[in-house]
Amino acid sequence: MGQTPCHDSLPEVHVKVLFIGDIVGAPGRDTVHQLLPGLVRSEGIEFVIANGENAAGGKGLTPAVARELFAMGIHVLTNGNHVWHNKEIIDVLGRDERVLRPANFPQGVGVPGRGSGIYRASNGVKVGVLNLVGRVFMHPYDCPFRVGRQEVERLRLETPIIFIDFHAEATSEKIALGWYFDGQVSAVIGTHTHVATADAHILPKGTAFVCDVGMVGPLHSVIGMEVEPIVQRFLTQLPTRFSPVEKGPTVFNSVLLDIDDASGRALRIERIDRETTKHAQ
């Protein structure tokens, strides 16, 4: 359950990639610190991608938090619509190729940072990562399909192994993008909703897909935030300040993928979901 093999047996040459869902605040960071090293050892993981756009105080990313996450063994941090929340990250986006922001933010108008990159897994294999953001129920960004196509064609000149983090709200938009890139990328992984979906599978031409990988953060929460203020917001429709839950049990949502080195096709996608009994204070 939760595992979709593409072939009866895996080839000898492949790369294992872990994609971690949206990391929410200090509880999320502590949970990654607790669980990631053991997963890397036990599963033989060679490359780790995580969405970090909520990692600093529940919204945005800071230079210090990015350094902390890289020290834990994450290779690339993707982002989304909250990437500009902490202005100090702008300098990091301009100089650290490991921190991405969506490639379909406005083009050619001085928007800092990059939306994709080529990296090396621990076994030396080149891995491409592309960050896109959705438009349905979100802001009128540039078209993720057209911008994504341009970026994928450029990345494929260097490697067939390409991962897309599609930070989007609507499941239909995510599923459509997965089909659009089937056979052209290794995986289309949905982020943003913080709710793990049970649809991890491999599309007919070899692209792994999941609508939303989920989050790493407080279990007893509303997508990582304190429950009562959000309930009151729904009841009253009055503006309310949301804060991340700072203690209690946490959830770790991720997907583990096996990718064929030569073709870039996904051979397996498997959910890895864990719960911790409490967030270490």
Asked whether residue 272 is domain-assigned, the answer is yes
**pLDDT tens digits, one per residue of 254-279:** 999 999 999 999 999 999 999 998 65
Asked whether residue 93 is domain-assigned, the answer is yes
pLDDT grade for 110, boundaries at 50, 70 and 90 = confident
pTM, two decimal places: 0.91
Which residues are marked as active site?
82
Asked whether residue 7 is domain-assigned, the answer is no
H helix runs in 117-170, sequence order:
144-155
CA angle 122–126–127, rounded 5-degree value: 90
Percent of the chain with pLDDT over 70: 94
Residue 10 clears pLDDT 70, i.e. is over it: no
Predicted local distance difference test score (pLDDT) of residue 243 = 84
How much is the mean pLDDT over the chain? Answer: 92
| E runs forming strands in the chain | 14-20, 22-23, 47-51, 76-78, 116-120, 126-133, 162-167, 187-191, 201-202, 208-210, 215-218, 250-260, 266-276
Measure the CA–CA gap between 203 and 213, rounded to whole angstroms.
16
Asked whether residue 1 is domain-assigned, the answer is no
Q: How many domains does the chain divide into?
A: 1
Q: What is the mean pLDDT of residues 110-118?
A: 92
Asked whether residue 9 is domain-assigned, the answer is no
Q: What is the mean pLDDT of residues 130-134?
A: 97
**pLDDT tens digits, one per residue of 225-260:** 889 999 999 999 998 888 888 889 999 999 999 999
Predicted local distance difference test score (pLDDT) of residue 14 = 86
Measure the CA–CA gap between 21 and 49, rounded to whole angstroms.
9
Measure the CA–CA gap between 239 and 128, rounded to whole angstroms.
41
Predicted local distance difference test score (pLDDT) of residue 241 = 83
For 51, the 3-state DSSP assignment is: strand
Residue entry with tokens 């995510």: 174
Predicted local distance difference test score (pLDDT) of residue 197 = 97
Asked whether residue 198 is domain-assigned, the answer is yes
**pLDDT tens digits, one per residue of 171-192:** 999 999 999 999 999 999 999 9
CATH of the domain at 32: 3.60.21.10
More confident residue, 224 or 78: 78
Residue 3 clears pLDDT 60, i.e. is over it: no
Listed as own residue / partner, the contacts of 224-233 with beta carbons closer than 8 Å and 24 or more positions apart are 224/22, 224/24, 224/25, 224/27, 224/28, 224/54, 224/58, 224/194, 225/58
Residue 7 clears pLDDT 60, i.e. is over it: no
Q: Identify the domain containing residue 224 by its residue range.
A: 14-276
Asked whether residue 33 is domain-assigned, the answer is yes
Element (H, E) at 33: helix 25-43
Maximal C-alpha separation, the chain: 58
Q: Do strands 201-202 and 208-210 pair parallel, antiparallel, or not at all (unpaired)?
A: antiparallel
Predicted local distance difference test score (pLDDT) of residue 144 = 97
Asked whether residue 156 is domain-assigned, the answer is yes
